C-alpha cells in the first residue's frame, strides 16, 4: 500500500503496467491503485492508458475507472466495452462515458438509456447520462436533445429522461417538463409536478400558477399550488414581486390550508405590502385568527414604521 501511494506521487508512465496488474489482482488494493493512476502527472500517462484499452482483459475495469476519473475521451472504446459479458466492466464503461463523453456524442449515451443492451444496465446508464448532461457546456442544446428523446422513448423510460432534463435546468428544460405536466398520463403528471415543485429557479413560478389554476382539481393541482407557495417563501425577489405572488396565490388557493401557508410567507417577510395583504385576509372568517397572528408578527417587526402602525389601527386591530 505504501509503495502504491508513493508511485502515485513520484511515478511516471512506466508505472502504469505495474499498477494495473496489482489493481486487477487484488480487490483490497484496487482503490489505492486507482487513486495512484489518477494522480500520476507524467503527460505520457494518458496515451499509455488509452493505448491499453482495446486489448485490456483482467485490468479492464480498473482501466475504465481511471479513464473516467482522468476524463480521457475514448467514446468509441467505451461504447464497445458496454457489450462486455462482465457486469462490473459494463458499469465502469458507462460511468466513464458519463464522465467523458463530449456534447457532440451525447446522443450515443441517450440511445443507450432509451434502449439499454442489458436490462440490468438501465440504472447505470441513466446515472451516466445524468452525470454527462449536467456538465454539458450548452445547457439549452442538451435539454433540446433530451426533449426529443423523451418523445421517442418508450413509456417506461420517459420518467427517467424527464428527471435528467430537470437536473439540466434552463428554459428548454422547464418548457419540456411543463409540457408533460399537462399530459393526460397520470404517471407523467406525477413525476413532472414533483420535479417542478423542486425546481431551483424562479422562472418556474408562472408555470406552477397556471397548473394550479387550470385543468382538473386533483392532487397534481394541489402540488402545483404548494410548489408556487414554496417559490414565494424560499426565493430571493423584490418585496413587490413577493406580495404579488402571494396575492395571486391567495386568489387561486382552493382550501384554507393553502391560504394559511401563504400567511406564513407574509409573516416571514414583513413589509407594508405583506401587512396590507394580511389585513385583507383577516376579513375571511376561516383565516381570522391566523391572519391576526400574522398582522401582530409583522406589526412588531415594523414597530417604527408609522404607516404600518396606521394601517393596523385603521383596520381596528
pLDDT per position as a tens digit, 238-269:
999 999 999 999 999 989 999 999 999 999 99
Residue 317 predicted with pLDDT over 80: yes
Please give the Cα distance from 278 to 295 (Å, whole number): 6
Residue 29 inside a domain? The answer is yes
Residue 101 inside a domain? The answer is no
pLDDT reported for residue 217: 81
pTM for this structure?
0.91
Domain holding 34, by residue range, is 1-72
Number of domains in the chain: 1
Q: Write out pLDDT tens, residues 272-302.
A: 999 999 999 999 999 999 999 999 999 999 9
Residue 162 predicted with pLDDT over 80: yes
Residue 18 inside a domain? The answer is yes
Q: Which of 220, 216, 173, 225 lies closest to 193 in space, CA to CA?
A: 220
pLDDT reported for residue 64: 97
What average pLDDT does the chain have? 96
Please give the Cα distance from 229 to 212 (Å, whole number): 11
Residue 121 inside a domain? The answer is no
pLDDT reported for residue 216: 79
CB 204 within 8 A of CB 174: yes
Percentage of the chain surpassing pLDDT 90? 97
Q: How far is CA 228 from CA 72, 134, 174, in A?
A: 42, 25, 14
pLDDT reported for residue 310: 95
pLDDT reported for residue 117: 86
Residue 246 inside a domain? The answer is no
36-40, 96-100, 117-121, range with the lowest pLDDT: 117-121
Residue 46 inside a domain? The answer is yes
Is 26 in a helix, a strand, or coil?
Answer: coil
Please give the Cα distance from 181 to 159 (Å, whole number): 11
pLDDT reported for residue 150: 97
Residue 279 inside a domain? The answer is no
Q: Write out pLDDT tens, residues 211-242.
A: 999 877 899 999 999 999 999 999 999 999 99
Amino acid at each position: 500500500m505504501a509503495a502504491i501511494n508513493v508511485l502515485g506521487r513520484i511515478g511516471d508512465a512506466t508505472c502504469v503496467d505495474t499498477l494495473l496488474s496489482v489493481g486487477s489482482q487484488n480487490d483490497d488494493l484496487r482503490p489505492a491503485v486507482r487513486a495512484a493512476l489518477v494522480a500520476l502527472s507524467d503527460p505520457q500517462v494518458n496515451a499509455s492508458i488509452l493505448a491499453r484499452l482495446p486489448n485490456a482483459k483482467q485490468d479492464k475495469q480498473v482501466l475504465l475507472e481511471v479513464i473516467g476519473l482522468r476524463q480521457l475521451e475514448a467514446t468509441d472504446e467505451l461504447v464497445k466495452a458496454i457489450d462486455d459479458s462482465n457486469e462490473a466492466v459494463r458499469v465502469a464503461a458507462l460511468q466513464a462515458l458519463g464522465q467523458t463523453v463530449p456534447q457532440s456524442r451525447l446522443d450515443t449515451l441517450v440511445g443507450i438509456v432509451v434502449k439499454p443492451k442489458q436490462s440490468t444496465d438501465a440504472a447505470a446508464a441513466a446515472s451516466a447520462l445524468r452525470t454527462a448532461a449536467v456538465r454539458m457546456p450548452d445547457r439549452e442544446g442538451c435539454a433540446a436533445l433530451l426533449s426529443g428523446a423523451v418523445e421517442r422513448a418508450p413509456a417506461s423510460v420517459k420518467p427517467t429522461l424527464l428527471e435528467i432534463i430537470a437536473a439540466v435546468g434552463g428554459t428548454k428544460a422547464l418548457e419540456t417538463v411543463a409540457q408533460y405536466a399537462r399530459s393526460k398520463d397520470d404517471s407523467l403528471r406525477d413525476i413532472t409536478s414533483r420535479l417542478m415543485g423542486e425546481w431551483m429557479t424562479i422562472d418556474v413560478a408562472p408555470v406552477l400558477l397556471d397548473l394550479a389554476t387550470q385543468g382538473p382539481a386533483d392532487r397534481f393541482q394541489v402540488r402545483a399550488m404548494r410548489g408556487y407557495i414554496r417559490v414565494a417563501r424560499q426565493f430571493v425577489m423584490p418585496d413587490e414581486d413577493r406580495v404579488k405572488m402571494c396575492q395571486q396565490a391567495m386568489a387561486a388557493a382552493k382550501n384554507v390550508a393553502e391560504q394559511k401557508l401563504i400567511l406564513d410567507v407574509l409573516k416571514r417577510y414583513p413589509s407594508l405590502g405583506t401587512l396590507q395583504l394580511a389585513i385583507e385576509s383577516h376579513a375571511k372568517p376561516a383565516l381570522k385568527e391566523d391572519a391576526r397572528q400574522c398582522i401582530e408578527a409583522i406589526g412588531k417587526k415594523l414597530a417604527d414604521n408609522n404607516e404600518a402602525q396606521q394601517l393596523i389601527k385603521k383596520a381596528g386591530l
